[in-house]
């Protein structure tokens, strides 16, 4: 069954929720020392980037305020240059960018009159 763009938008919401739950009450020091957590969060960010990559160009153009290229670019780093990931940069994404992205994606759901479900697929 072919996935629709709403499935990819849903993936973004689900992964943001996973990252938020995993990093809610920890410090940067605790984050970077926990190798398993770093891997899990990095994978979630990669999934977000892959979901963005699979969204139709028309949708990305329509909602140009979302930093689609930066998100997709980070996915490329995670996938192809994993050894160069900067923990501080990743932490900054977690703490300053994901809430904004979540709001933007939820706004897209609202404007496109589609609903999301927080299931991991």
Under DSSP, the state recorded for 94 is: I
What is the rounded distance in angstroms from the CA atom of residue 62 to the CA atom of residue 40?
A: 31
Average pLDDT over residues 62-71: 96
| pLDDT band, residue 79 (cuts 50/70/90) | confident
Supply φ then ψ for residue 27, to 5 degrees.
Answer: -95, 170
- Number of Cβ within 10 Å of residue 10's Cβ equals 23
pTM given for the model: 0.90
With a pLDDT cut of 70, the percent of the chain lying above it is 94
Return the closest-CA partner of residue 21 out of 120, 110, 116, 121. 120
Catalytic residue (one of 3, 20, 39, 75): 75
Q: Tell me what pLDDT residue 118 has.
A: 62
- Is 75 considered catalytic here? yes
- Is 20 considered catalytic here? no
Query: What is the tens place of the pLDDT at every residue in 14-64?
Result: 999 999 999 999 999 999 999 999 999 999 999 999 999 999 999 999 999
With a pLDDT cut of 90, the percent of the chain lying above it is 79
Taking each helix axis from N to C end, the angle separating 35-53 and 68-80, rounded to the nearest 10 degrees, works out to 130
Under DSSP, the state recorded for 83 is: G
């Amino acid at each position: 069954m072919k996935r629709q763009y709403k499935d990819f938008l849903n993936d973004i919401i689900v992964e943001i929720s996973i990252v938020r739950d995993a990093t809610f009450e920890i410090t940067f020091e605790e984050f970077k020392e926990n190798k398993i957590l770093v891997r899990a969060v990095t994978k979630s960010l990669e999934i977000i980037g892959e979901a963005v990559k699979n969204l139709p160009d028309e949708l990305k153009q329509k909602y140009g305020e979302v930093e689609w290229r930066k998100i997709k670019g980070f996915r490329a780093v995670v996938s192809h240059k994993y050894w160069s990931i900067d923990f501080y940069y990743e932490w900054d994404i977690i703490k300053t960018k994901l809430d904004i992205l979540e709001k933007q994606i939820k706004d897209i759901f609202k404007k496109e009159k589609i609903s999301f479900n927080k299931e991991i697929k």
